[in-house]
A and B are shown apart, each in its own frame.
Chain A
Amino acid sequence: MKRMVWTAATILLTAALILPAGCPRKRLPPGPAPAKRITFWHIQTSSVTRKVTEDAVGRYEGNHEDVAVRTTACKNDLYKQKLSQAMASANVPDVFHTWGGGMLASFVDDRQVTDLTSAVEAAGLTKRILPAALEFGKVRGKIYAVPMDVSVVVMWYNRKLFEKHHVTVPTTFEELKSACEKLRNAGITPIALGNKDKWPGAFYFIYLATRLGGTQPFKDAAGRAPGGTFEHPSFIEAGRKLQELTRAEVFNKGASVLTYDDARGLFINEKAAMMLMGTWFLADLRSDAPELLDKVDCFAFPVVRGGTGKPNVIVGGINAAYAISSRCLNKEEAFGLLEELVSDTTAKQWGETGRIPALNATVISPLLEKHTLKAALLLFGAPEIQLYYDQYLPPALAELHKTTTQSLIAGTTTPTAAARDMETLARETAANSKTGAP
């Protein structure tokens, strides 16, 4: 008898370990069953952003007692696959996270998402949400997703080091180079770069290409529009300018070995004066070296002479935007949830975590902490956000973009060869996706 109990207990424990694989689900509250149900998938798994997201859900449920929201928080890395599988089956979440871009467009093509254009306009959200961020939720001019968060890449610098060595904030590429030369001569590493994981170096390439040729060449090349190519002069010239920087030794030694953390160490120890990084850099500084924060300021990536891109375009991305499935039965309620996710209360809490809510300057300026606000001001002045190339491109091409940029910085490839490699793979990928479609 005793042995049977043990056996049963063992089997139960093993089953308990194996069965709940997947994403954790929130239990429905006890009491009378609400009449309407909404399923909601998001990817905010860090404790602070998850709390803000789920608090918003809680407020919504509090105000609408007839609606129950079943929330699922998914790991970022697994999310794309999980959502694709859900879309292929009938098990589609009512409200779900999206990054916009190519994946959202393909769902729109399959009529899987609800057109929110008129609802967004009726609710007055077009005036409330930052126009550049709202662009990510648009497919062919119509709104399919409402953004909640936006992060941008700016050049952070150590104001005290600049003052000490009489360096002024550069506004052009040439000024950046001469500022770097001054710092280098003073024995300071001009710019910290940790490029082992490839994405930090990619920011330079994206910015240079955007300053040189604007955002259109990338859109055309990635979307395989007629005449669109990764061998566009702006990509080749971006590679050349990038190598001009490496030849001028603006980066620390061994950039392709160092990680983002190592490079941040150089900036924190004041061995390096600048670092091109996203707004999350502030959150990291706050935990590593809060005393440094008062010396830190930021400026927009310099313009390049002869470039045709708009000078204020900023590189960035969104890390939370929400769409509604076309199969959702309670669309009105689902949209109510979206409104709560971009409400003042939610935005205030979101701003406190060090993130930038994707709302208009007038709405969020009072909500932001002063350092975040400096970067946000550059964002408010931007006519457009250039999404990180690797978030826009399919994975294989995204990897190649980062790898070729790493090679450009290390000096092991040439700008024309890097552009040719990208174009070759882009053509292959496009050809395969046509013939390989199920």
Chain B
Amino acid sequence: MSRTFRSKTVWLFLAPALASYLAFVVVPIVQSFAVSLFDWPTHAVSPTRFVGLENYARLIQDGVFWKALSHNVVLLVLSLVIQLPIAIFLAALLSGRVFGRGFFRTVYFTPMVLPTVVIALLWRQMYLPAESQGLLVQLLEWLRLPSPADGFLGDARLALLSVIVTISWRYVGFHMVLFMAGIEGIPEELYEAARIDGANAWQSFRHVTLPLLAPVIRISAVLSIVGSLKYFDLVYVMTKGGPPEHVTELTTTYMYQIGIDQQTIGYGSTVAVAGFLISMLVVVGVMGLRWHARAAVREVRE
């Protein structure tokens, strides 16, 4: 097989994916950017007036956008702080010889298999006020503990946190599976050596499992960060960014509200482009850190 033939074959197989990627990802991003420079009134067939960066000036002064972005940041930080430690803990637990290991692994992974809408409706129902059969509030009332009268999502102080709990519940299983795969890859001899040196379970976890899991942790973190910045579906179904006054608004739900509900397509595209640029910036930053870390490791080895 000649080299040119092989590279041609490679291109041939890549072409469909590349074409659809260009058509459905790259082109729309470029188009969104173009549209964000226009005023596009409702019902007009195409953008009518070029306004340059006017939409971006409006965005910078738009308090709701910054509020939404701050919610994305809260989601990002809490996802890292809640999801990853729990996932590592569960993975470590289930990697040992635990009774019913397969059962627990399946149970924790189940939320990833369920459709987002199902999860959103299920948790929304649990969070409802007592008279609407909200399970959690009813439980708290039965235990005579303080509970939010308007339900968890109806309380402006609890709404965002409640949504984040649901999101975490969903993704812990996913990260757990990643970590389990990582732990499988750690040679058994290292644990043996640690035992011979007199390490207890915590010490061998701290000094063998964690350091060798670092690459997987980084992957998990990157996935979690990107996911948090572009999160949409569960929040949209559960709260639509409300209720009311944007207490659970994310940049994506805000974009939907402006672009689709209000049909202000130009400014909606501006919000979309801003969200894209911010995600891009953060991801490039995190990847940069990763290269940096890798270079440092190489230096130490040499």
- Chain A residues close to B by CB (< 8 Å): 80-81, 84-85, 88, 103, 189, 195-197, 252-258, 262, 265-266, 271, 394-396, 399, 403, 406-407, 409-410, 412-413, 432-433, 435-438
Contacts and interface: CB of A to CB of B under 8 A. Distances in A.
Given A396-B264, A432-B41, A433-B41, A254 B132 contact: yes
A403 B244 contact: yes
Interface in B154-176: 154, 156
Contacts of B70: none
Contacts of B39: 432, 436
Given A196-B242, A196-B243, A394-B42, A253 B261 contact: no
B253 to A, nearest CB: 13
A13 to B, nearest CB: 15
Contacts of B154: 253-257
B262 A399 contact: yes
A438 B38 CA distance: 13
Contacts of B41: 432-433, 436
A365 B149 CA distance: 45
B134 to A, nearest CB: 8
A228 to B, nearest CB: 20
Contacts of A103: 43
B5 to A, nearest CB: 20
Interface string B221-245: 0000000000000000001101111
Contacts of A85: 45
Contacts of A196: 239-240, 242-243
Contacts of B130: 253
Contacts of B149: 253-254
A85 B264 CA distance: 17
> What 9 A-B pairs come out closest when comparing CB atoms?
A254-B154, A256-B243, A253-B129, A254-B150, A254-B151, A254-B129, A396-B262, A395-B263, A257-B154
B245 A410 contact: yes
Contacts of A407: 244-245
A348 B166 CA distance: 49
Given A196-B243, A399-B261, A80 B132 contact: no
Contact of B43 (A81, A255, A403): A81
A369 B66 CA distance: 53
A257 B151 contact: yes
B184 interface: no
Given A253-B150, A257-B150, A266 B132 contact: yes
B48 interface: yes
A276 B149 CA distance: 23
A406 B127 CA distance: 20
Given A80-B43, A254-B129, A257-B239, 5 more contacts: A256-B242, A395-B42, A395-B262, A410-B244, A412-B245
State the majority secondary structure of interface residues on B: loop
A253 B244 contact: no
Contact of A254 (B45, B153, B240): B153
B132 to A, nearest CB: 5
B84 interface: no
A189 B151 CA distance: 16
Contacts of B264: 395-396
Size category of the B interface is 20 to 34
Interface in B132-146: 132-134
A103 B44 CA distance: 12
B49 interface: yes
A438 B49 CA distance: 8
A262 B128 contact: yes
A252 B132 contact: yes
A164 B127 CA distance: 32
Nearest to B153: A257
A175 B264 CA distance: 42
Interface centre among B43, B44, B257 (most CB of A within 10 A): B43
A243 to B, nearest CB: 13
A390 B244 CA distance: 18
A302 to B, nearest CB: 25
Most buried by A among B132, B151, B153, B242: B132
A431 B243 CA distance: 31
Nearest to B240: A196
B192 interface: no
A271 B154 CA distance: 19
A433 B150 CA distance: 41
Q: Which of B156, B257, B263 has the largest count of A CB atoms less than 10 A from its CB?
A: B263
Contact of A266 (B43, B131, B262): B131
A253 B134 CA distance: 11
A373 to B, nearest CB: 31
A254 B43 contact: no
7 contacts: A84-B44, A195-B243, A396-B42, A396-B264, A412-B245, A413-B245, A436-B39
A394 B264 CA distance: 11
B49 A436 contact: yes
Contacts of A256: 150, 154, 242-244
B131 A271 contact: yes
B263 A84 contact: no
Interface string B51-68: 000000000000000000
A406 B243 contact: yes
A438 B48 contact: yes
A11 to B, nearest CB: 13
A394 B262 CA distance: 9
A403 B28 CA distance: 30
B191 to A, nearest CB: 49
A88 B240 contact: no
Contacts of B242: 196, 256, 406
A432 B266 CA distance: 13
Nearest to B150: A254
A396 B41 CA distance: 10
Contacts of B128: 254, 257-258, 262
Given A256-B243, A257-B154, A406-B243, A265 B132 contact: yes
Contact of A412 (B151, B153, B244, B257): B244
Nearest to A89: B45
Contacts of B42: 394-396
A84 B43 contact: yes
Contact of B132 (A84, A258, A437): A258
Nearest to A197: B240
Nearest to B127: A257
Interface string B79-110: 00000000000000000000000000000000
A206 to B, nearest CB: 18
Contact of A88 (B45, B49, B244, B261): B45
A252 B151 CA distance: 11
